[in-house]
Amino acid sequence: MSPPWPNGRKLVHLDLKGAPPRIEYLHQLMALFSELGADGLLMEYEDVFPYEGELRLLQATAQPAYSPEEVLSIQEVARSRGLEVIPLVQTFGHMEFVLKQESLRELRELDHCVGTLNPHRAEGLQLLMKMLRQVVDLHPDLHTLHIGADEVYLLGEGEESKQWLASPGRTVEQLFLSHVTKLAKAIKEAWPHMNIIMWDDMMRGMSPDTLRASGLVGLVQPMLWDYGPALDVDTTVSLLEKYSSAGLSELWAATSFKGSTHVHTTVTKTQRHVDNHLQWLKVAAGVSPGVKLLGVALTGWQRYDHLSVLCELMPVALPSLASCLETLVCGQFGGEAQSRVMQRLSVSSVEVEDLESSGASAGDPFVGRRLAEIIVELTSTLNSEDVCGFENSMCVRGWLSPYHRQRKRVSPLIAMQIHSQATTYLTALEQKVEALWEEMRRLYPDSVVQEWIEQHVVPVTAPLQRVTEDIRVCLEEMLPQKDPSPSPAAPTERPSVGDE
């Protein structure tokens, strides 16, 4: 057992570059975050921020961005719940939502890499400051800003960077530090009181001397992130000590409660994320007194980047978030801690996949519970061997191969059995998807529901639909005088679909 997380803020990260909640649901979530022990929000608005004027092109088109009034309402609710709001605006890497715009294409480090900003163009820094100014202006009394700067892919590969690096003694490390330092100084000049947080990963291989000479000391607070359930405690402690020895003694940690398992994960595994927090507690207990941990951000990624698929939605991750916050508060996650989480959320297990259906009249013990139940049920069906492996079943591979379909020569009897089984699966999935649609649209814009279905359901249902259509075409040609629809009483002497 480790000591509880040391003094400092516990921020819940809201990644709004995918599945931005309807504002009413977001307000409910914020109230729950506060009740669970959070005292801040790390708001990654990305393209749902209401950029105006020449920056309006950065707004999302799939669904409306939040209005200025809604952004102000987020801060009002946060204040009433004791939550500090810290905006996160990417300013170097992961700028896909900005650099995907054709009119800003020339600001890319490399034309085919839409996430990395060219650090040599004055227009790039001007654009960043315009973005930051609009964000700061819409956050009165803002004290802390996160400027991102993680995963700056292919930095140094652009032609202007190669020319810059051709001078003796210049390195990619210096190129990175030069841009971040220039930006941080511009922010401090505009808002002298502003605290600046940045991701640490691009600095992990740098020596203390390089960091000291960068000019970043006194300007930024690195946030060291590691989301793995088995993160290396000694290595992480050493990194924190290195930053501190270089003068960057004000530091943050970043854990994960969702969105870091696989890019396409739909159901959160609580224990995986609790384990990540248990490792971070060991890190916090292992650093020297000179390392000042200002807090921890519990990240909840909604996409790996702007152009990837949706990760787990917030409702299925709330048991994980509650468990992770409880772990930080208690220093462990034993029976008593688990009981508190289960009691608070009115659940019988901290694992969302163990949720029992609450029924239509039971209400929502936690906000979004019914949607979580539906996603768990639907995901279980989609991942079942019978459904996702249907095209590889014995009957389909043996009697409905591409060879058979192309020549439209099949065994009508077995084709009817295959059609019947595929139709049964499709009907069951359709019912679950209808329930998903009705519940999800209460909490998210319709475009989010459509995206989730197209990304996670359609890849599974499309092969089933192709099978039924191919069988229909084959039977129409082979039995032109007969009803091509399979008979409910089709013989069952052959192995049923899915048997091997």
The 10s digit of each residue's pLDDT in 393-403 is 999 999 999 99
Write out the CATH class of domain 9-351. Answer: alpha beta
- Of 186-195, 383-392, 443-452, the range with the lowest mean pLDDT is 383-392
For residue 483, the model assigns a pLDDT of: 56
The overall average pLDDT reported for the chain is 93
Taking 90 as the threshold, does the pLDDT of residue 246 lie above it?
yes
Separation of alpha carbons 101 and 109, rounded Å = 14
Taking 50 as the threshold, does the pLDDT of residue 362 lie above it?
no
With 0-12 CB in 10 A as exposed, 13-18 as middle and 19+ as buried, what is 125? middle
Whether pTM > 0.85 for this model: the answer is yes
Q: Who has greater pLDDT, 391 or 130?
A: 130
Separation of alpha carbons 99 and 397, rounded Å = 45
Taking 50 as the threshold, does the pLDDT of residue 196 lie above it?
yes
Q: How far apart are the first and last CA of the chain?
A: 48
Taking 80 as the threshold, does the pLDDT of residue 106 lie above it?
yes
Taking 80 as the threshold, does the pLDDT of residue 213 lie above it?
yes
The model's confidence at residue 71, banded by pLDDT at 50, 70 and 90, is very high
Taking 70 as the threshold, does the pLDDT of residue 241 lie above it?
yes
For residue 480, the model assigns a pLDDT of: 86
For residue 275, the model assigns a pLDDT of: 98
Q: Who has greater pLDDT, 7 or 452?
A: 452
477 among known catalytic residues: no
Handedness of CA 204, 309, 296, 116 (dihedral sign): positive
The catalytically annotated residue of 151, 241, 351, 377 is 151
Taking 80 as the threshold, does the pLDDT of residue 415 lie above it?
yes
For residue 171, the model assigns a pLDDT of: 96
For residue 486, the model assigns a pLDDT of: 53
The model's confidence at residue 7, banded by pLDDT at 50, 70 and 90, is confident
The pLDDT tens digits for 157-173 are: 999 999 999 999 999 99
For residue 255, the model assigns a pLDDT of: 98
The model's confidence at residue 273, banded by pLDDT at 50, 70 and 90, is very high
- Of 98-112, 297-311, 484-498, the range with the lowest mean pLDDT is 484-498
Mean pLDDT for the stretch of residues 318-342: 96
Mean pLDDT for the stretch of residues 274-279: 98
For residue 487, the model assigns a pLDDT of: 47
Mean pLDDT for the stretch of residues 9-33: 97
The model's confidence at residue 27, banded by pLDDT at 50, 70 and 90, is very high
For residue 488, the model assigns a pLDDT of: 43
Residue 25, phi then psi, degrees to nearest 5: -70, -40
The 10 Å CB-count burial string (b at 16+, else e) for 283-308 is bbebbeeebbbbbbbbbbbbbbbbeb
Where do the domains of the chain lie? 9-351, 384-478
For residue 497, the model assigns a pLDDT of: 34
Mean pLDDT for the stretch of residues 400-417: 92
